[in-house]
Amino acid sequence: MWLWFHKLGSPPYFYRTAGRLIPWFAIPAALLLLAGTVGGLAIAPPDYEQGDGFRIIYVHVPSAYLAMFGYVAMAVAAAIGLIWRMKLAFAFAAACAPVGAAFTFLCLATGSLWGKPMWGVWWDWDGRMTSMLVLLFLYLGVIALRGAFDDAAKGDRAAALLAIVGVVNIPIIKFSVDWWNTLHQPATISKLSAPSMTMDMLGWLLTMVVGYMLFFAAVVTLRLRGEVLLRERGARWIRGLDGRA
Amino acid sequence: MTPTRKRRLVMVTALVAGVGLATTLALRAFQENMLYFYSPTEFVELGVPAERTIRVGGLVADGSVRRAPGSMTIEFLVTDHAYTVPVSYTGVLPDLFREGQGVVARGRIGDNGVFVAENLMAKHDENYMPPEVAQALHAGKMRAIERAQQGFPAETESNNGAAVADDSGHAGSSYSGGY
Amino acid sequence: MREFLLMDGYWAYVWGSWILTLVVMLGLIATARRHHRRALVEAARETEAPLPARAAVKELS
């Protein structure tokens, strides 16, 4: 186990392993996303209040999960990088940021497309929406801060600090609907109680969530390979790689 | 763990704790100014200045919606079962606007004490179910109410449907505002 | 079929959210691939660039 861990810390080994892992994420992701799309759009029954309009949940909720999950993953990696000065952890944080930002944007955009017909507004400044917008800015800040330094190592450390500080926003997003009056409804799925959704609707949502997770894993792994290369530029092992590796 | 790493670990932990504490204190301090909408109780008890644009949120009281003939203006009462606020609104209604549903109105108090909404938003809850399930739950609840009125004990088996309906906050009257 | 496409009249919102999601996901794949390709080219340039990496440079420019 330890041996494996150490081996994984070696860039060439990691680069190759990550490359082999990608199809194992990408193919199930594609299948699940396809199944979830068919199930969510065509098989799941319409909602008693919102009719077919509720189907936006199948793209909205998974992107919200990933927006938050991606941030926590990035911040944990950033902390590991800061404490142990681990290059791979910084590379992972760097790979997470743009993907997480994209899902935060998707969450806001699909939420807006859902809000207009149901609530009657595209946007309003309630706790959930505002804190989610702050999350997007945090992601963009982390990306910009890393890019602002000529020295990659300094950029990594500065971005890591911002990522760690921004973590306080995650519980705010999560509990905003419980702490304050909001336009947004409380969570449908929570660990502490049974989901407020019937199985024939929930199954497809969970399919989508797992599909999104695997999609995230595939894209982040691909970016991570790029980040490892950038941090290892000039190393001898890179000579042996061909353009499609 | 080397001393340097330990020091950095402590620093990172302290950073998160410090920022977390500061944020918690700030949020607590601004609690009242951060009110997204006033419930009817807060609206009445806190006393809102007439010139301020605010939001009022609650349930549309059953049987209170009145339409002025030949215009887009409607009037209704927003309630939290303790107080009610009369609201008037001119414009297109959101699809989910109906009696018994949650609603958030943005506007200000008019001269006659009626809250004039510039903007009307419908709230919905976190429950999703197919129409048949909703109907079955509703029917179950109605049966349970009938039975209760006829003096049957509350814990008969056919009451389960109603218990589920109440727990999940369903049956139209649910309003997940979090006062 | 028509009924399915109309989505209770919410077709623009439902289909719009799905198409937007698809576009962003395809964009993520495309940028990740480009990111990796660029990194490979850049990293290889600083060693003695082997032939395939040079081919990739050409492909990019």
Q: What is the count of residue pairs from A and C with beta carbons less than 8 Å apart?
A: 123
Mean pLDDT of A202-228: 96
Task: Using an 8 Å CB-CB cutoff, list chain A residues near B125.
Answer: 185-186, 196
d(CA A74, CA A93): 4
Q: What is the count of residue pairs from A and B with beta carbons less than 8 Å apart?
A: 128
Q: Is A140 exposed, middle or buried (0-12, 13-18, 19+ CB in 10 A)?
A: middle
Taking the alpha carbons of A164, A169, A173, A179 in that order, is the dihedral positive or negative?
A: positive
User: Residues near C51 by Cβ (< 8 Å), separated by ≥ 6?
Assistant: none
Contact A127/B34, CB-based, under 8 Å?
yes
Amino acid at A126: D
Q: Which chains touch C (3 or more CB pairs under 8 A)?
A: A
Domains for chain A: give ranges and CATH numbers: 18-232 (1.20.120)
Contact B12/A127, CB-based, under 8 Å?
no
Cβ of A235 under 8 Å from any chain C Cβ? yes
pLDDT at A8: 73
pLDDT at B163: 36
**Confidence bin at A1 (pLDDT 50/70/90):** low
Task: Using an 8 Å CB-CB cutoff, list chain A residues near B127.
Answer: 188, 196-197
**Confidence bin at A45 (pLDDT 50/70/90):** very high
Backbone angles phi, psi at A211, to 5 degrees: -60, -45
Q: Specify the higher pLDDT residue, B48 or C31.
A: C31
d(CA A81, CA A79): 5
Average pLDDT, chain B: 80
pLDDT in tens, B142-168: 888 888 877 655 444 443 333 333 333
pLDDT at A232: 84
pLDDT in tens, B47-84: 777 788 889 999 999 988 998 888 888 999 999 888 99
**Confidence bin at A191 (pLDDT 50/70/90):** low
Expressed as residue numbers, the domain containing C37 is 2-60
pLDDT at A100 over 80: yes
Task: Using an 8 Å CB-CB cutoff, list chain C residues near A222.
Answer: 29, 32-33, 35-36
Pick the residue from chain C with its C-alpha nearest to A212. C25
Q: Specify the higher pLDDT residue, B141 or B18.
A: B18
Do residues B149 and B137 touch, judged by C-beta distance below 8 A? no
pLDDT at C54 over 70: no
Do residues A219 and B75 touch, judged by C-beta distance below 8 A? no
Average pLDDT, chain A: 90
pLDDT at C52: 55
**Confidence bin at B169 (pLDDT 50/70/90):** very low
CA dist A73 to A15, A95, A167, A232, A235, Å? 20, 11, 10, 23, 28
d(CA A228, CA A222): 10
Token pair listed for A175? 């509990």
CA dist B165 to A195, B122, B133, B144, B172, Å? 13, 21, 10, 11, 10
Task: Using an 8 Å CB-CB cutoff, list chain C residues near A240.
Answer: 50
pLDDT at A168: 94
Residue with tokens 């691939």: C33
pLDDT at B46 over 50: yes
Mean pLDDT of C15-21: 96
A51: left (phi over 0), alpha (psi -120 to 50) or beta: left
- Cβ density class B28-58: b for 16+ within 10 Å, e for less: eeeeeeebbbbbbbbbeeeebeeeeebbbbb
